[in-house]
Amino acid sequence: MKKIALLIAAVVLILAIIVVSKTITNSPGAHQKSTTLEILPTEAIAHMSQAIQIKTETPNDAYEFDTATFFAYRKFIEKAYPLVHKNLPRTVIDSFNYVYEWKGTDTSILPMVLMAHYDVVPVEASAVKLWHAVPYGGEVKDGYIWGRGVLDDKSSMISILEAAELQLAKGFQPKQTILLCFGADEESSGNGATAVVKYFKSKNKRFDLVVDEGGEISTEDMKDIKRPIASIGVGEKGYVTLILTAQKAGGHSSIPGKTTVIDILSKGLYQLREKQMPAKLIPPIKAYLERVSGYTENFGKKMALSNLWLFEKQVLNNLSESPSSNALIRTTIVPTIINSGVRDNVIPTFATAYVNSRILPGESQKDVYNFVEKTINDTNIKITYYHNYSTMPSPTTDINSKAFQRVETVINAIVDDVIVAPMLMVGATDSRNYREISDGVVNFTPITNAKGYHGIDERLMVSDFQKCINFYSLLIQGSK
């Protein structure tokens, strides 16, 4: 007995030594200084301001598409970026999606794609009074450029064009072909990007690096880490919606039975909200935690993150606490539409609910279906797929790939003391289409703690705008 107790004590001691030594040796990386940023081209702010003033809103209905505005935007970029338009042949796909080709001297290298979209979501009429600037005014004040689309995603498009114009003016000639791809309907159907990728596929094109919007820089994600974290999106969650239908004869509300369709459906939805799909640490999220682990000033957290082999379960429980981190570790399921009843004195015969799910890489639509069926466990509820739109989770870009590392190097060159880490995209972007024709798709724009996406007071710090232009300039220069 005593021997066993001694043995257990020895094992615990050894484990404790391993855990503590892994924690204290996991020290933060050395301070690193960015190279001096090139100054903002004089015209850049005026160009961004003009870009915002052209109201390229994405309509709810394709028939409401305002062609004149999109033509005006085309005229604007042609005028603002004369060297791009003189030197890079442009292909127009489906009216307003553009591909500019900057031919490299070595066609044996797979090209690089810098992409963005210039359609914007509408501004809610009732929310205009809450803005601190005119939504389509393109005002510059308090160190920011204000307006709908300045972040999402004209920041990328205008910065790419500024960088290209700048490099062309310097006589830069890339070795690797660079394609600049701009979409006009990312915020609605995304059909433009699908058509562009179809065009590339018809020409058997493949790309070694594709950079799109998505990941950003944050100093707020982790309060106990003082350095900025640049998250590079390396994959996207999948998407599916299921329809749950309960059916049972209704009748007069003065003589209700024991259960109605509304009771049946409510119970099913309640169970679905009570139980979540299992939490998992997929490779990019694990790599993210490992990369930031050495920088936390919270010893307990540092110990857990430095020893995921032992504390993975506790870390997952912790990440489940906040909606944004919970979305990174599991397939989420949430009801979004509910329908039943026609009159206040009639018990309905049908009740339906739509539940939307965002699927973690490694899982599928079928896994979601099976989970919902098993959790509800009620044959009175029929489950069907809602086929308006569904996607599988994307493959993820390897963080040891040249594509990831190239973007990482550029981020290090423009941000002091930055921790670069991979991230999973919980929403969808145009670049998901490109994963078919490239193993190097990454999502990143060097914007810090961005505020106002799709909401009020969308604004871009002028200093971030400068970083964005430098980011694309360095990527372009890296194609030498």
Query: Given the rule CB under 5 A, which residues bind Zn ion?
Result: 152-153
Cα-only R_g, the chain:
26
Q: Shortest distance, CB of residue 427 to Zn ion, whole angstroms?
A: 9
Is the bond preceding residue 153 a cis peptide, omega within 30 degrees? Answer: yes
Q: Shortest distance, CB of residue 20 to Zn ion, whole angstroms?
A: 45
DSSP codes of every residue in 174-228: -SS-EEEEEES-TTTT-HHHHHHHHHHHHTT--BSEEEEEEEEEESSS-TT--S-
Cβ distance to Zn ion smaller for residue 152 or 408? 152
Cα 289 to Cα 292, 318, 326, 476: the distances in Å are 5, 13, 14, 30
Question: What sign does the CA torsion over 300, 306, 310, 312 have?
Answer: positive
Q: Shortest distance, CB of residue 197 to Zn ion, whole angstroms?
A: 17
Question: What sign does the CA torsion over 276, 331, 294, 215 have?
Answer: negative
Q: Shortest distance, CB of residue 106 to Zn ion, whole angstroms?
A: 32
Cβ distance to Zn ion smaller for residue 153 or 162? 153
Q: Of the candidates 191, 53, 192, 200, which has an alpha carbon nearest to the alpha carbon of residue 113? A: 200
Q: Shortest distance, CB of residue 152 to Zn ion, whole angstroms?
A: 4
Distance CA 61, CA 320 (A): 37
Cβ distance to Zn ion smaller for residue 57 or 153? 153
Distance CA 34, CA 410 (A): 9
Count CB neighbours of 89 within 10 A: 10
Helix (H) or strand (E) holding 425: strand 419-425
Q: Shortest distance, CB of residue 49 to Zn ion, whole angstroms?
A: 19
What SS3 class is residue 213? strand
Q: Shortest distance, CB of residue 232 to Zn ion, whole angstroms?
A: 16
What SS3 class is residue 125? helix
Q: Shortest distance, CB of residue 453 to Zn ion, whole angstroms?
A: 8
